[in-house]
Each structure stands twice: as C-alpha cells, then as structure tokens.
Amino acid sequence: MKNKGLGEFEELILLAVCILDGSAYGISVKKEVEKHSGRSILLGAVHITLYRLQDKGFLKSKLGGNSEKRGDRRKRLFSITETGMQQLQAAQDVRQKMWQFIPQLKQ
Amino acid sequence: MSKKMKKGASIIRWMLSRTIDETLLEEFLGDLHEMYEERLSKGKFYAQFMRWIDAFHLMFGFLSIGPFRTQNTTFIMFRSMFKIAWRNALRQKQFTVLNILGLTFGVGTCILIGLYVHDELTYDTFHKKADRIYRVNQPNIWGDWNQLSSSTGPNVATALREDVPEFEQVTRLLSLGSQTVAIGLNAEHSTAFKETKFYAAEENFFDVFSFDFLVGNPETVFLESMNMVLTLETAYKYFGEDVFPENVLGRTVELKDYDGSWKTYTVKGIVSDVPHKSHIQFDVLVSLKSQSEMMQMHGWKWIWTAFSTYGLVKEGTNISRVEENIQVLPPKWAPPTTERIFNQSFEEFTNGHPWKLDLQPLSEIYSSGSPSVHSFGPTGNPQFVKIFGAIGILVLLLSAINFMNLSTARSANRAKEVGIRKVLGSERKALWYQFILESILFVLTSTLLAFFIVHGSIDAFNSLADKNISLLPHLNNPMFYGIVLLFIILLGLLAGSYPAFYLSAFKPIETLKGKLSIGFNGKGLRNGLVVFQFTISIALIICTFFVQKQLSYASAMDVGFARNNILQLHNIEQFGFDTEVLKTKLESNPAFTNVGKSFGLPPNIWSGDRYKAKGGDHVVQLSNVRTEEDYLDLLELEFLAGRNFDPSRPNDKYKVVLNETAVKTLGWGEKGSFDIDSPIGKIVKLASGDEDEFEVIGVVKDFNFNSVKREIRPLVIIHHFNDKVWDYGAGLSYYSMRLDQNTITNSSELLSLLADLEGEIAEIDSTVPFEYSFMDQEFENTFRSEQRMGTVLNLFTFMAIVIACLGLFGLAAFTAEQRTKELGIRKVLGANASEIVWIFSSEFTKLILISILIATPITYYLVDQWLNGFAYRTPIDLWVFAAAAFSALMIAIITIGYQSISTANKNPVLSLKDE
C-alpha cells in the first residue's frame, strides 16, 4: 500500500474532494478541478479516478442528495479517508522537501 | 422537442444499463442529466452531442478497469469481433484502403445525389399549410387544348369561392412582368429600378402562403388598393442599406403605368427574403385591388388567362372528389365571356375539348416542372431527378460490388481463420455475424468519411449545379440519423451478405489442409460482377458522350438567321410609342450596321393568337410578333416568296409576313408549291373579335424564334405601325443593333460603346433603366440548365468509373498475388515480359469486352429514348460507341497495367524461392 503513490491527476481529484468537504460528487469535482487547473476534463475521467481512489482506500463514499435537476436520482458523495489524507500530506511533504534543494530558488 | 430529448436519453439509459454495473448506474445517469440541463444554455445540439460523448466515455471507462468489468457475454463477444475486424483490416492494408476508398466514393456520391433529390422534391414545403394548397390549372385555351396551362382567368377563383365550400380560401396572383419603380420622383435625386419579380396579390394571400413578415400586418396589408409589400433586400435597395424596416413603413414608391404616368404606392409591409425553395419568387407585391381598373376594363373574366389561382382546402378534404365536382364550373360560368368576346357559344369555343380544371398539389409545382405554359418562378426537371436517382443507386451498387469482390477474393487469406474457428467449435452463425459486422464497420467508416468529403465539397457542387444545398440543417433532424443508420445497416448487409455466406461455408478440414488457397470457386461470380460493373460504367460513359454531343449540337445549330453580334436594348416601350428620334440616334452610331425595333426577341417570342385563313373556318393557333422591315433585314431572314415590308408603301403596315410553317398550317401548301399556288396576296384573319383581315406580302424561311428545344411554330409577322391590332402600342419593345465587326474589335471598345449608349439613353429620359443583352447569349441561356446537368452528369460518371477501377485494381492485385508462382515458372521456362503482360491482362480485357457487348445495345435504346424528347436530335453515331468502348478498355488496361508489368518484371527466383 505504501508504494502506491499518487498520480498527478489523482492528486488534483483528491484535493478537490478535500476542498468540497462533503459535497464532492462527479460534477462538482469536475468543476472544481477545471476551475483551478484551467483545463477541461471529461466526466468519465473524473468518475474513473474517483473509483480508483476509493479502491486504493483513499476515498469513501455514500449515496445521497437527490434533486429535481438530476431527474430525481441520488448522487454518490465522496469524502477523504484517513489514509487518503496521509497520502496527500506525504506527497506534499516530498515536494516541499525537494523544493528546498533547488539552487535556482536559493537566492 | 422534449420528446426527442427523452428519446436520446432513453437510448443512453438502455446502453449504460446493459454495460455498466447497477450500483453505478443511478449516479451516472444523474450526472449526465444534470450536465445536460446545464449545457442546454450553450445550445441543444451541443448538449446532446456532449451527453453522447460523456456516456460513451463512462461506458468505455468503466468497462476497461478490472473490478467493473462486465460479465455480459454479448458484450465480450462484440469486443472480440471488433478486435478481429480491426486486426484483419490492419493486416491487409491495401485491401482495406481500396475498400474504404471505393465505399467512400460510392456513399459520398449517393449522399450528394440524395441531398440534391431531397432538395428538388421539397420545394414550397415551408408554407405552414403547404399540404392543403393546390394550384388550379386548366387547358391552354389560347393554343393546344391538350396542353395544360398553369394560369386561369380571374373568374375561376370567384366561381370556386361561390360554388365549392371545400375551399377555405382561394387566392389569385397576377404576374405583372417587368415594372419600373422610382423612389423620390419629385425630389432632386430620383432613382429608377427595374423590377421583374413583381406580382399583384389578393388580401388573403398571406392566409394561404406563409411568408415571414418583419413589419406590417399580413391580414390587412392588401385590403386596400395602392399598398405594397417589399422583401427586405428590396427595401434596402430602395431606401439604403442602413434603413430600419420599421422606418420604411408608410414610405411611398412610384410605379410607372403602361401609359407613362406615375402611380404612388405606400409600403405597408416588409417580409424577410423569399426562401430560394419557393416557386413564387417575388421582390415586390402590390394589392390586386390596385389593378381593379384593368380587371374591369377587360371583363374577359374567363379568358384573360394571366392569373395563378391557388386554393386552400379545408382539412380532411377528399381532393379527388373536389376535383370531380369543380368540372361543372366552366360550362356554368364561362359562356357569357365566350359569347361576348368571340361571339361563340361555349361548345363552339371549346370545340369539343373539355375545359378541365386540374388541382395540382403545391409541393409538385416545382418538382414536376409542368405545366410549363404561363408558369413563373424556378422550375425543376423531373427527368434530371429520375436520372440522378438512378445514377445514385447504380453508383452505390458499384461500390457494394467492389466490396463483395474484394472480400471474396481475399477469402483465401481468411480460410485458415475460418477453419480454426470452426474446429474450435464456432457456429456458422457466429462467423456470419463476424463478417457482417466487418462489412458494417467498413460502411460506417466510409459513411463518416463521405460526410466529411460531402461537407467539404458541397460548395463546389452547388456552384456546378446552381443549387443551394447544405448538409448542416439535416444534422438537426433526428429522422436524418435514423435514415443514415438504416442506410449503413442495409448497405452493410447488402455488401457483406455474400462474403459472409461464402466465407462461413468453408469446410474446416479442406481449408486447414490448404486446399482452398488456389483454384477456389466463386471466381465465376466475381467475374460476373466485374462485367456488371463495367457494363454500368461503359453505359454511363456512352450516355454522357451523347448528352454532351446533343448539347453542343443543339447550341451550335443553325437557327435560320445570323444570331451573332446582335446587341439588344430593352425597355424601349418606356420612351412612348414613337421612338424614331432614338432610332435615328442609334443609326448614326458607326458601330452599328443595322438597327431595328421589335416587340419581342428570339428566343423568347411567346405571344400568339387564334387565326384562320379567309374562306376556311379551321381555326389555328399562330405565334405573332410585331416588328419592322429593318429588323427582318437585321436578322438576315431569307424570303422564299414575296417581299419585306416597304416603308414607301403606306398600306404595307396593314399587311403581314408569314413563315413557312404558318403557310403550311393555314393549308396553303409548302415551299415547292409556291410557284404554282403562291400564298402571296392571300388573306389571314383573326378568329376573334372583329375578325381583322391581313394580306400576306411575303414568306420567310423558317427560323428558330424559340429555343431549339422546340419545333419551329407557325409565325405571323405584323408591322408595328399596324394600329388595327388590339394590343397596338402595348407590350415590351426592343431595339436590336448588329455590331460592325470592323468598328468593334475588342471587349474594351464594346464596353465604351455600352457606356456611351447608357449616357445617350439617360439624356433622353433618365427614368428609363438601361438594360441590354446579346442574342447569342440568350440562345445559350436556354440550354443553361441542361449544360449544368451535363456537367454534373460528367462528375457522377467519373465517380462511377473511379469506383469500378478501384475494384478492378484490387482484383488485379489479388490475381497477381495468386499467380506469382505460375508466372514465375512461365518465365523460367522462357516466356518474356511482354508475353506475361499479355497473359495477365487478357484475362481482364475479356471481361471488359463482354461488358462492351452488353452495354452497347442497352445504351443505344436509352439514348434513343432520351433523344426522342428533342425537336432536333444529334444522330446516334456508331463512332461514339467505339470511342466509349475504347476509352473504357484503355482505362481498364491502365488500371491493371501497374500490376501486370510489375508481375512480369519480377525476378522468378524470388517468387519461386519462398516456402
């Protein structure tokens, strides 16, 4: 489990789920990532990643929140798990550490 | 709209429910729905399109990752079939490319033709009540009673309103021909325009026809006289590009009356420009009430056949019953008119012919192209539609045959695959599905490619065919997708069924032993199909040859007078009747050798009347034209008997000149009999009114005063100063000038001459629009649509040949591969390269020769039938067949040439060494 690092896109999705804090589902995650990264992504890509992250144990989910807008269908709300948070933190730490050693930024 | 949306959504729901795990379905569908609603703001088409993309993405995404992989066996089977199809396509690149190319050309041509035919058949369908509108046609009472005319007298409409309750509305439209319009006549800068799409309409016109009003009230606009409706384009033309339509309302427009006075009309409505797919093409409409004076004056209620009468029937009307019922109207209402005008009873006037009223559905007015008498607006040609439709199907068939041929030819390569599959327990049905699926995939790919090609080339096609076709509007029509899908499946089945049947029938033991690799059967059928393909191609080549030949024959035909270098000035009638001042001015111009006035110009002399020979009572229809002696000189007409009008004999203006056919029609003999029984001095008289008498002073040799598509009709040439004819002084008149070839030698001199003329005309009267034409060009124009269609036909023939050649190339390549060893051995045993080429190509040449033998009699028959429709036809020369056959043979030899030469030059060591 420990060696299962995070891909760049996975990291973005995880961050978005964190930001959305409880209201993260396919479309809101897609919009959040699009908003911050500036690129447009397909819904399918978001879903695939969400489920992969859930598989890895970084996310958990439950169904809820149906609305008229969705033709009365529920959405799957994702939230981050303990391990997910650790992974994210670990990824951030690695980066932070490496940034410190970039000579160009030392002046 | 919402129905369609649901339909798309339900297909997606079905698709996902078959492929995606149930636990995921709800949220996915919810997401798709939500996104769709959001994207609707960017356009419905976009939203739908993106929903499909997302749905596919979700489907494939969740099928490819492990835990979500479906256990649905059908899907797994399909995926494996796709995989095999893809691998096979990659393995045999040459065949794949040939197949795709052939199908793409075929499907592309078919789509183009389909769009063309659809466009031709859907004219006038934009009117909201189009399916209930009928035009009333009746016999051409001024000529051949067996011919229908698209116009009626004004009182057909009133009779229909009175007696036939099935009609909700009846409306009349009167073409006013060409009119001169002026803006700001009394202001300092007045501008004059010539309008040719000018009609008078009744108050209920817009109840029947749905033209799009920008400003103004369609219900009231024609209730009063002197009201006018303009198209937006015309409004811009009159009042400037920057004018707002609402500011045009209430502005006045002056219209020149036939007597030269001006009448003021008020603009009461602006409609957006008339759709090009309308047989009624107008720039200006005025209220028919403005013409009431003219309508009262004539009182020719049943015989002033200038009105197009349209009826809107009530919903659910049995139209054939109505048509039956209205036949009693002419005998009931017309007699007072015939008695007053002709002094004839109804029976005498109709002379036994039924005065039939024919109801023509609005949608057929354009596409049927008939009745041509008195019709206006664009007309279609049903013959072209039929010919193109047939070509579309043939070309499609050609490309389907290509596919069959190539698929069965390469079957040897797949025989082992089939054998192994069978050994491993595959049913024949499964193999069958595999091959059909491959065929459908090929067709699908080609169709998509074809759509791109058609979309890219449609502008070129439009300019070639003078059409206004676009692919894009169809893309919003769900029906269109349905048709395309059906088309793909059907064509896929058609092209794939034989290969599927043939390939799946292989016996596994034989194929695995390798028995099928050489000498497999199916060759006979393949050859038969090649013969069929080339028969069609050769037939098309011969037909296009003859179409071109007939067109050039007819347009270069001797029309009986010198039609070149004649410049024609229009709108002369607007200078009043006495135009001698203008004539003197024109005559003094050194650029002109002759100047003559006429009330009509070949090839557009359409007026005519009913005449009879004095002493007889056989009434005949003769064309007539009013002109002067100088015009006959200018045309260089040849006199067979008698003489031209002579200005020094004042009584000549009451005499007439006939053409040969008129003499014959009046029963006065033919050219050879003139010496014995001369028509000169005989009397021809009008068969109506006061029965005016005219003495014949000359007979001219027949000349084509109409397009050479028609036979020369009988013609009476009346002097324009003859004040006894009823329409004396009325009608459009022209001055024609023969250009002096020595003075006008190049186009810049011609341009400066035209500029000078324009100045001279403006000097005399600046409100007369300057308009000119050249007679030879007018004759050319009568063939414009045929010439266009000829070009389009060439294009389609070319496509057919390309497709047939692609197939032949593929077969040749295959045969070359099959016979490598045989030809290698021949070479080793001493055959030289040219012998090998001969052996190789003779196999195909034989097939082409058979095709030629089949194609020749078929096309002879078809061409003969087609040419029968022409008054003057080019002979069916045998050399055309020979030339077509030769060119087909050459094309075929060149196609297989590459293969045969490369095979012949192969080093036999290489071909024999492998294994």
B171 Cβ contact partners less than 8 Å away, ≥ 6 residues apart: B157, B201, B202, B204, B205, B207, B208, B209, B309, B310, B311, B312
Which residue from A minimizes the CA distance to B60? A44
At which residue do the structure tokens 């007072």 appear?
Answer: B336
pLDDT at B519: 43
Which residue from A minimizes the CA distance to B26? A73
Measured in whole angstroms, the distance separating CA B877 from the mean position of its chain's CA atoms is 28
In this structure, are strands B358-361 and B715-719 parallel, antiparallel, or unpaired? unpaired
> Which of B26, B35, B58 is nearest residue A47 as measured by Cβ atoms?
B58
Residue B36 to residue A7: CA distance in whole angstroms: 29
Domain A8-105 fold is Arc Repressor Mutant, subunit A (1.10.10)
pLDDT at B620: 84
B597: which strand partners?
A: B735
Characterize B198-236 residue by residue with b for buried, 16 or more Cβ atoms within 10 angstroms of its Cβ, and e for exposed: bbbbbbbbbebbebebbbbebeebbeeeebbbbbbebbb
> Which of B26, B33, B58 is nearest residue A44 as measured by Cβ atoms?
B58
B86 Cβ contact partners less than 8 Å away, ≥ 6 residues apart: none
Distance from CA of A27 to the nearest CA of B (A): 7
List, as one string, the DSSP characters of B749-782: HHHHHHHHHHHHHHHH-TTSPP-EEEHHHHHHHT
Residue B850 to residue B854: CA distance in whole angstroms: 6
Interface contact flag, A25 B31, Cβ < 8 Å: yes
> Looking at this predicted complex, what is its ipTM?
0.81
State the pTM of this model.
0.74
Q: Which residues of chain A make contact with B63, given a CB cutoff of 8 A? A: none
Measured in whole angstroms, the distance separating CA B319 from the mean position of its chain's CA atoms is 28
Per the structure block, which two tokens stand in for B321?
Answer: 């019953």
- Of B359, B244, B279, B378, nearest to B312 (Cα)? B359
List, as one string, the DSSP characters of B40-105: GGG-HHHHHHHHHHHHHHHHHHHHHSGGG----HHHHHHHHHHHHHHHHHHHTHHHHHHHHHHHHH
Interface contact flag, B61 A47, Cβ < 8 Å: yes
Residues of chain B with pLDDT under 70: 1-8, 63-73, 186-189, 293-300, 412, 514-522, 689, 729, 914-915
- Of B899, B89, B852, nearest to B530 (Cα)? B852
> Which of A48, A55, A75 is nearest residue B27 as measured by Cβ atoms?
A75
- Of B478, B363, B635, nearest to B8 (Cα)? B478
Per the structure block, which two tokens stand in for B872?
Answer: 């003057």
Residue in B19, B38, B39, B58 to test binding to A, most A beta-carbons within 10 Å:
B58
Q: How many helices (H) and strands (E) does chain A have?
A: 4, 2
A59: which strand partners?
A: A80
Q: Which residues of chain B make contact with A51, given a CB cutoff of 8 A? A: 62, 65, 68
Q: Which residues of chain B make contact with A63, given a CB cutoff of 8 A? A: 26-27
Which residue from B minimizes the CA distance to A31? B35
B250 Cβ contact partners less than 8 Å away, ≥ 6 residues apart: B266, B267, B268
**Interval A56-106: pLDDT, tens:** 888 888 887 767 777 778 888 888 888 888 888 888 888 888 888 888 876
Residue in A46, A47, A59 to test binding to B, most B beta-carbons within 10 Å:
A47
B139 close to B356: Cβ distance less than 8 angstroms = yes
Interface contact flag, A43 B60, Cβ < 8 Å: no
pLDDT at B516: 54
Q: What are phi and psi of B61, to 5 degrees?
A: -60, -45
Residue B281 to residue B297: CA distance in whole angstroms: 28
pLDDT at B2: 42
DSSP B568: E
B686 close to B611: Cβ distance less than 8 angstroms = yes
Interface contact flag, A48 B26, Cβ < 8 Å: no
- Of B232, B226, B229, B234, nearest to B218 (Cα)? B229
Compute the half-sphere exposure of residue B707: CA atoms within 13 Å on the CB side of its CA. 15
**Of all residues in chain B, what percent are helix, strand and coil, respectively (each to 5)?**
55, 15, 30
More confident residue, B259 or A53: A53
Residue B428 to residue B425: CA distance in whole angstroms: 9
- Side chain identity at B724, as an amino acid letter? K
- Of B197, B176, B196, B194, nearest to B279 (Cα)? B197
> Which of B26, B29, B37 is nearest residue A69 as measured by Cβ atoms?
B37
Residue B618 to residue B714: CA distance in whole angstroms: 15
Per the structure block, which two tokens stand in for B328?
Answer: 């009693």
B705 close to B715: Cβ distance less than 8 angstroms = yes
pLDDT at B729: 67
